[in-house]
Amino acid sequence: MPDHADLIAALRGAGLVGPGEVVFQPLAGGVSCDVWKVDGPQGPVVVKRPLEKLRVMADWHAPVERSASEVRWLQLARDVEPGMVPEVLANFPALNAFALRFLPGCPVWKDELSAGHVDQAFAAEVGRRIARVHARTAGSAEVQAMFPDPAMFRALRVDPFLRHVARNNAAVSAPLNTLADRLDAARIALVHGDVSPKNILIGGQGPVFLDAECAVYGDPAFDLAFCTTHLLLKAVWLDRADLPAAAAAMVAAYAAQINWEASQALLARAGELTAALLLARIEGKSPAPYLTDPLHRQAVRRQAIALLLAPRAIDDLVAHWERTPE
Ligand SMILES: Nc1ncnc2c1ncn2[C@@H]1O[C@H](COP(=O)(O)OP(=O)(O)O)[C@@H](O)[C@H]1O
Ligand SMILES: [Mg+2]
């Protein structure tokens, strides 16, 4: 275990740990961050500090200052809907670390989905809440100024998920590079950047969003596409019809909140991005770890490539998604 003296001093200064010994209990996750649970006089807290090198790929470096944008995202989302994020209890920018209130007894949505518990209303609420953050922040020069640096989103999302796949797959490199250029240029609303079932807790008042370290002022279609991709991949893995149905419920609830642009334009972009992200989860630097069956991989690859060459709007894409290999 590294020496946490600096972090302990900061936590003590914030009144989050007592004078005695401080135990750092690692939490699940931890691909890109050290995340611990620490007990203190105000109850358990989560302490998070990004890693310089991501654990999935030895050569995948990312700027460590991304804790600052995660904190800013959490605070903005809390203004939109307090129950949708854990409270930020302390921010230690000099240490690239921060502390959140630990939410006890809240399962991770991914675990529930993997166990076959698919709640359509919950999926719809995921779409609605994410769209509300987009609606609140769209066209805001002030919010854009709070997220001036797209470098983290590029390093963690655009490059590994889109440009890397484009380099290795000539058949779809043109549409992928076009999508990557467009994502780089977009300045539409505040994007979370990692809306995945593993980063959503099932809270007492609905979905709680974690892990906004890729947050960027960019294209909100990315968040909808990213989460939809996860649900469609799990539909293939588990061969469950209720997972595309959950994706459809999420997309419909999201679409109902779009008030900053024409819905069809956003749903069209989200469809293209979903195709790209589906392929990236097979061929990119961050493959879906559970999709190991070659038939499953082929079913996703075949549909993703067809969709990149002949895009569909995301609602249409979800409605036509095939769970089983041909
Ligand atoms: N405030 C919290 N309350 C309860 N559990 C949490 C909280 N924050 C994080 N966790 C748990 O820790 C895991 C990792 O946190 P996350 O922010 O997603 O970090 P990472 O970047 O390592 O994925 C989550 O999947 C969740 O299980
Ligand atoms: Mg996470």
Instruction: Kindly report, residue by residue over 72-81, the tens digit of the pLDDT.
Output: 999 999 999 9
Domain boundaries, the chain: 5-101, 109-319
CATH class for the region spanning 109-319: alpha beta
Question: What is the reported pLDDT for 34?
Answer: 87
Task: Please tell me if the domain spanning 5-101 has the same topology as the one spanning 109-319.
Answer: no
Give the model's confidence band at 82: pLDDT under 50 very low, under 70 low, under 90 confident, else very high.
very high
Shortest-distance ligand to the CA of residue 32: 1
Summarize pLDDT for 184-227 with one digit per residue, the tens.
Answer: 999 999 999 999 999 999 999 999 999 998 999 999 999 999 99
CATH number of 5-101: 3.30.200.20
Q: CA–CA separation, 173 vs 168, rounded Å?
A: 8
Question: What is the reported pLDDT for 111?
Answer: 97
Question: What is the reported pLDDT for 324?
Answer: 84
Question: What is the reported pLDDT for 86?
Answer: 98
Is residue 31 lining ligand 1, measured as CB closer than 6 Å?
yes
Nearest C-alpha to atom 16 of ligand 1 is from which residue?
Answer: 211
Expressed in angstroms and rounded, the spacing between residue 246 Cα and the centre of ligand 1 is: 23
Expressed in angstroms and rounded, the spacing between residue 123 Cα and the centre of ligand 2 is: 18
Question: What is the reported pLDDT for 53?
Answer: 65
Answer whether residue 3 shows pLDDT above 90.
Answer: no
pTM (global) more than 0.75: yes
Contact 182, 174 (CB under 8 A): no
Give the model's confidence band at 1: pLDDT under 50 very low, under 70 low, under 90 confident, else very high.
very low
Distance separating the N- and C-terminal Cα atoms of the chain: 48
Answer whether residue 59 shows pLDDT above 50.
Answer: yes
Angle at 220 between CA 65 and CA 259, to 5 degrees: 135
Phi, psi of 66 (to 5 degrees): -70, -10
Summarize pLDDT for 142-193 with one digit per residue, the tens.
Answer: 999 999 888 889 988 999 999 999 999 999 999 999 999 999 999 999 999 9
Give the model's confidence band at 55: pLDDT under 50 very low, under 70 low, under 90 confident, else very high.
low
Report, as an integer, the average pLDDT of 12-24: 93
Radius of gyration of the chain (CA): 19
Q: CA–CA separation, 68 vs 79, rounded Å?
A: 17
Answer whether residue 69 shows pLDDT above 80.
Answer: yes
